[in-house]
Structure 1
Amino acid sequence: MSDATFTFRVNDELKSEFSKAARSRDRSSAQLLRDFMREYVHQQQRLAEHESWFKEQVNQGLDSANAGDLVPANDVEAKFSARRALTQRNTDK
């Protein structure tokens, strides 16, 4: 992998403060910027993966609902009413 130069403008005060912050962590400004860039790219990849997973989950739910694989609301309410009652009994002990 070849190296490339990344050039951009910042004001002198920001550059100075950033350099001080990098030195306080025993890093050069360039090292710290590379670290930030890697982390940003990694974060974007994780977000894209999560979005893809989430969309798949939504599509599975929609496909299931469209196929008629639904649980009646009364059944759900009865099930969770029983769970709430059991939890309440356990906390009252």
Structure 2
Amino acid sequence: MTESTFTFRVDDSLKAEFSQAAKAKDRTGAQLLRDYMREFVRQQQEAEAHEAWFRREVQAGLDEANADKVVSAEEVEAEAAAWRVEIQRKLNGSAS
């Protein structure tokens, strides 16, 4: 892995407070900044992966709807009603 220097400007008081806080954690400011950078990159990659997955799922749903592969509201309600009856039966059975 090759390394490069990352230089940026920061308020003197913030730099001093950050260095002091890093030292209290037995870390250098550079170590913490590298950790923060890695974490930020990881979060962005996860967000991008989730966004891609979400878009694929939405497109799959749209494709199914466009192909008339849908479940009617009546079918969903009938299945939910049967599920509620079954759950209620189990709850009544366990209360005895």
Alignment: residue pair count: 93
> Are residue 12 (structure 1) and residue 12 (structure 2) matched?
yes
* 1:75 Cα deviation from its structure 2 partner: 0.9
Q: Which runs of 4+ in 1 moved over 4 A?
A: none
* 1:41 Cα deviation from its structure 2 partner: 0.6
Match of 1:90 in 2: 90
How is 1:62-77 mapped onto 2 (pairs within 5 angstroms)?
62-77=62-77
Q: What do the CA deviations read for 1:46-73 (whole angstroms, capped 9, x no partner)? A: 1111111110011001000100001111
- Name the CA distance, whole Å, in 2 between partners of 1:37 and 1:45: 12
List alignment gaps of at least 5 residues for structure 1.
none
Q: Please provide the CA RMSD for this pair.
A: 1.2
Secondary structure of the corresponding residue to residue 37 of structure 1 = helix
Percent of aligned positions with the same letter in both sequences? 54
List alignment gaps of at least 5 residues for structure 2.
none
